[in-house]
Amino acid sequence: MNENLTIIEHPLVRHKLTLMRKKETPSSSFRQLLWEISMLLAYEITRDLPLQEVSVETPVCRTKAPLLSGKKLALVSIMRAGNGLLDGILELIPAARVGFVGLYRDEETLEPVEYYCKVPDQLENRLVIAVDPMLATGNSSVAAITRLKEAGAKDIRLLSLLAAPEGVACMKEAHPDVHVFTASLDEKLNDQGYIVPGLGDAGDRMFGTC
Ligand code: URA
């Protein structure tokens, strides 16, 4: 039981994730599934956003109805694989500001190396949803979130399609204030730092590279 972790177990999420795991699923289908699943995940990660009643005039009468209130949202893609999750979320929250943190994983050390960072202003006043499909060692996500905090972010959630127990523990240790949302907590990492059973390299699966 980890109070910093929410596993989104909606049947549609579980179904689409299984299709994404299959190694024979081509990039085009993988991208389509990622787009669909990211909307479902966005639905869950925003479930508790505050609302306020406003007065509206329908064609029938005047009534009170809820609108989102509170902090504005910023979505931050941890590149490059984060971009695949971003598109579907933006479909649901088109007004969100968007940032990018570019990190690649040094294949020998498995440590993240930053090559790009551009984030919206006033991060301190926003709810920041960082997106990284694979929370594996956790090193990249932890580094990206450290960078977001340096830029002022105070209220941060992390959305990962898949998480390994090692990554969740690493995040909890480095950033105990960051709540992690994922579609699955997989079994472990292998010696190459891949999530097991996982789905392989998310960026490669998305873009057909390898
Ligand atoms: N990054 C990926 O894309 N896949 C993994 O399994 C681990 C890290």
- Tell me if 103 is assigned to some domain: yes
Q: Give the nearest ligand 1 atom to 204 CA.
A: 3
Rounded to whole angstroms, how far apart are CA atoms 199 and 163?
Answer: 11
Band (pLDDT 50/70/90 cuts) for residue 70 is confident
The per-residue pLDDT of the chain, averaged, comes to: 94
Q: For 23-62, what is each residue's pLDDT tens digit?
A: 999 999 999 999 999 999 999 999 999 999 999 999 999 9
pLDDT score recorded for residue 1: 61
Band (pLDDT 50/70/90 cuts) for residue 113 is confident
CA proximity to 30, closest of 205, 165, 156: 205
**CATH number where 169 lies:** 3.40.50.2020
Give the amino acid at 131: V
Query: 29 lies in which domain range?
Result: 5-49+69-207
Q: Whose CA is nearest to atom 4 of ligand 1?
A: 201
- Tokens (6 digits) for 13: 């999420």
CA proximity to 199, closest of 141, 135, 105: 135
Q: For 115-173, what is each residue's pLDDT tens digit?
A: 999 999 999 999 999 999 999 999 999 999 999 999 999 999 999 999 999 999 999 99
The set of catalytic residues is 105, 109, 201, 204
Distance 24 CA to ligand 1 centre (A): 17
- Tell me if 64 is assigned to some domain: no
How many structural domains comprise the chain? 1
- Tell me if 55 is assigned to some domain: no
Asked if residue 201 has its Cβ within 6 Å of ligand 1, the reply is yes
**Is the pLDDT score of 110 beyond 90?**
no
Distance 194 CA to ligand 1 centre (A): 5
**Is the pLDDT score of 209 beyond 90?**
no
Q: What angle do the packed helices 82-92 and 27-45 form, to 10 degrees?
A: 50
Band (pLDDT 50/70/90 cuts) for residue 21 is very high
Q: Does pTM surpass 0.85?
A: yes
Cα atoms in the Cβ-side hemisphere of radius 13 Å centred on 99: 24
Q: Whose CA is nearest to atom 2 of ligand 1?
A: 201
Q: Whose CA is nearest to atom 7 of ligand 1?
A: 194
CA proximity to 20, closest of 10, 31, 11, 9: 31
| 7 in Cβ contact with 165 (< 8 Å) | no
Asked if residue 194 has its Cβ within 6 Å of ligand 1, the reply is yes
